[in-house]
Structure 1
């Protein structure tokens, strides 16, 4: 017998698993706000949203999504959408199965417009689809992609990329399929249950002064000077790649020598101090760049999508290996500390919201800390 409750996060989180000795595999609860919206809880404590409905004289049900991946508001919206289809004589399950939409079409027509309207990292998502995912899954029907295929892709990717990169791809898969469920294009998420790879975020590569100078020198001869100058700016400011590529001229205050970042990874705005070298890079950008974005891409009105190809060419020319663009940020921090900056100063230069993040550079400050401790010791002993 289904129990009537008003779905809320507090109430659902407190609901217990189905007892192990119960005959039924799952316990069912009904939402008081949306007719037919159910929550099922199995003996392992997993919770699922379902829609129970009647069509053409038959009692039917369809899974909407897992609780946690689909929140209560999204489940209600999806249930209401399907009930609208029922009022028009359409079976929502058959409608989803017959839609025949491909992965590429769903991403280009539905996911990306939503992402650009709601995500700061939409440009990064777009790049993942173009460079990696469309090649393998673009022409496939959305509903035909299997969990095994996604697992295989996730496992294979770490042979070419860092575990963190593979995990970002998997998270993107999960989000896309959750939205496909929410919007009625499929009724299950094939990426559900696939585990993230273990990440080692402490593994870092810093360029020393000589290596940084070699990279700087070869960038002068890079064929794509827009990308080369973007890379140089990252090296001398420590900003993240997306922060640099999304920067606009309106964010630059030449008189105050400040760069305003209206939205950062932490969700807060901050200001970047512009050195004379950084200002020189900006002042010497080609006149044609003086549009909206500091570093425009090939498409009119769009920023440079990715500087990776130029970066890889520059690394080869400089004889450098095992360097990522994000390591330029680590290099900026390490060079600053090795030349007298404190961890407090580096925290603010990089825009870290917490000192905990900056502590990864603490070992670089060991020599200056020893010198400070020695000065105190000398003063006291005298």
Structure 2
């Protein structure tokens, strides 16, 4: 096969039949000296491996400096250990413990990726598998959460590719858009049914976490990780801990929440309000009980109880007209006012109704004045008529 030179020293290519498509593709090779020997190695294919002249030149430089193993060594290493998604994830956790999102990543992997992809090798994945995962997640998760889960899968696979543990995928993992602007709400009838279901359910721990979501607007993770030490009964505040090491925030301990917490049992040996089964850990989920309560209350399909009740809390305050956007931002512990703007239209409705009311008041005032004026005219006419009428006798 003819060797074709490139503009890079020690890099050439041969034309070969394209893998997985019509026509031909370039197969790149490098040549270099080591210990007095001339070494020739195959770098990769133009389309199958996404190889280019420039990448082949970088590959050659790394081989000369002995920073990169040969393709043969990589192939042998892959054959020794089957690099499944599970294996890559274990290695990824060990090598990258510094990642801030690792705690959430562990939960995402355990609940959303392991069951479906854990035992598979990346080379066994197809675009259909990724599409099915995305559609499955979209049924129960927020768009931003789905994006985070898909991004984690892509990160794990890219980790393996960059360390030459696996071959690159033949397709790209496309991430969905994270439009989280859907605001969940409940009607007054649905809310009444929910409160009744909460009172009647046997799992009052799950009922209380839902009550707190409704009366505080706290996030799911904040509720599950809530400690008694963060509740200041004396001053009337709850401290919201920032899991990423940022500034902690506080929200008021209102009367309803105070009553819930004062009657909530404290478990000996744990500072968590909702302790988990493992000692020293908080509860990670209460899906079974929460789903049962939501079903008993007849909540809308697709309503996410804890996340949705946070939205209900915000919507009720915004639509009341008694709370401005700045105050609502502080209560929701939003770092940016833009995050609170999704509720602005509810306050706009209040302002619109108030404006309409002002118009009605003016209209009624004008109407009353005219009626009084018309009444004076009628009375004056009646008086004139009486004066001009001769007395009977």
TM-score by length of 2: 0.66
Following superposition, the deviation at residue 346 of structure 1 comes to 0.9
Q: Aligned pair 1:335/2:316, yes or no?
A: yes
Following superposition, the deviation at residue 357 of structure 1 comes to 1.9
Query: Could you say if the C-alpha distance between residues 237 and 98 of structure 1 is closer, same or farther in structure 2, counting changes exceeding 3 Å?
Result: same
Which whole-Å CA distance do the structure 1 matches of 2:268 and 2:187 have between them?
Answer: 31
From 100, 106, 110, the counterpart of 1:130: 110
Which whole-Å CA distance do the structure 1 matches of 2:267 and 2:108 have between them?
Answer: 28
Alignment match, 1:178: 158
SS at match of 2:318: helix
Query: Could you say if the C-alpha distance between residues 137 and 151 of structure 1 is closer, same or farther in structure 2, counting changes exceeding 3 Å?
Result: closer
Alignment match, 1:369: 351
Q: Aligned pair 1:231/2:213, yes or no?
A: no
SS at match of 1:220: helix
- The RMSD of aligned alpha carbons is 4.3
Q: Aligned pair 1:251/2:230, yes or no?
A: yes
CA contact (8 A) 1:97 1:186 kept: no
CA contact (8 A) 1:227 1:304 kept: no
Q: 1:119-163: per-residue Cα shift (whole Å, max 9, x none)?
A: 34624x3344333322222222x3433242543324542673457
Query: Could you say if the C-alpha distance between residues 150 and 332 of structure 1 is closer, same or farther in structure 2, counting changes exceeding 3 Å?
Result: same
Which whole-Å CA distance do the structure 1 matches of 2:247 and 2:43 have between them?
Answer: 43
**1:300-311, aligned counterparts within 5 Å?**
300-311=279-290
Following superposition, the deviation at residue 241 of structure 1 comes to 0.8
Query: Could you say if the C-alpha distance between residues 129 and 285 of structure 1 is closer, same or farther in structure 2, counting changes exceeding 3 Å?
Result: same
Alignment match, 2:338: 356
Q: 1:256-300: per-residue Cα shift (whole Å, max 9, x none)?
A: 222222316895432222212222322333221661432122222
Give the gaps of 5 or more residues in structure 1: 1-22, 30-51, 67-74
CA contact (8 A) 1:97 1:143 kept: no
**1:144-223, aligned counterparts within 5 Å?**
144-157=123-136, 160-161=139-140, 164=143, 165-182=145-162, 184-188=164-168, 193-198=172-177, 200-223=179-202
Following superposition, the deviation at residue 329 of structure 1 comes to 1.2
TM-score by length of 1: 0.68
* Alignment size in residue pairs: 321
**1:27-176, aligned counterparts within 5 Å?**
57-59=39-41, 61=43, 83=66, 86=69, 91-107=73-89, 109-112=90-93, 118-120=99-101, 122-123=103-104, 125-140=105-120, 142-157=121-136, 160-161=139-140, 164=143, 165-176=145-156
CA contact (8 A) 2:240 2:250 kept: yes
Which whole-Å CA distance do the structure 1 matches of 2:235 and 2:187 have between them?
Answer: 30
SS at match of 2:346: helix
Alignment match, 1:278: 257
SS at match of 1:288: coil
Alignment match, 1:3: none
Q: Point out the structure with max Rg over C-alpha.
A: 2
Which whole-Å CA distance do the structure 2 matches of 1:28 and 1:162 have between them?
Answer: 49
Alignment match, 2:296: 317
CA contact (8 A) 2:237 2:251 kept: yes
Which whole-Å CA distance do the structure 1 matches of 2:131 and 2:273 have between them?
Answer: 39
CA contact (8 A) 2:150 2:175 kept: yes
Give the gaps of 5 or more residues in structure 2: 10-29, 51-57, 367-393
Following superposition, the deviation at residue 237 of structure 1 comes to 0.9
Which whole-Å CA distance do the structure 2 matches of 1:279 and 1:183 have between them?
Answer: 53
Which whole-Å CA distance do the structure 1 matches of 2:73 and 2:347 have between them?
Answer: 65
